[in-house]
Amino acid sequence: MSDCLFCRIRDGQVPATMVHQDEHCIAFRDIHPQAPTHILVVPRKHIATLNDATEEDALLLGHVLLTAKKIARDEGHGDPGWRAIANVNRDAGQTVFHLHVHVLGGRRLGPLG
């Protein structure tokens, strides 16, 4: 997906402040953070939205969420609390169409809605 920003970050074509890389996913700091900690966890496999995930992606999706948990803990937010968000499509606020999970923490986060 040569026009996908996150694929280009994954492939090293666009710089990002990486905090995690493994064979299944990458994680980097958001360039427009909405909280003191705002990290995006992105599967290496291009999946446009959560709506496009299949049963075959179940282990990958689990790995992405467990990676989000590890990153939140490593950033010091495990016990105080943190938020994981996956926006699906434009009406939900998705702007990059490569599945990703936002890890937010570092301050008290109010209710959504």
User: Exactly one of 24, 38, 63, 100 is catalytic; which is it?
Assistant: 100
100 catalytic residue (yes or no): yes
Q: Please give the Cα distance from 50 to 77 (Å, whole number).
A: 25
Token pair 């990002």: residue: 16
Which residue numbers are catalytic?
100
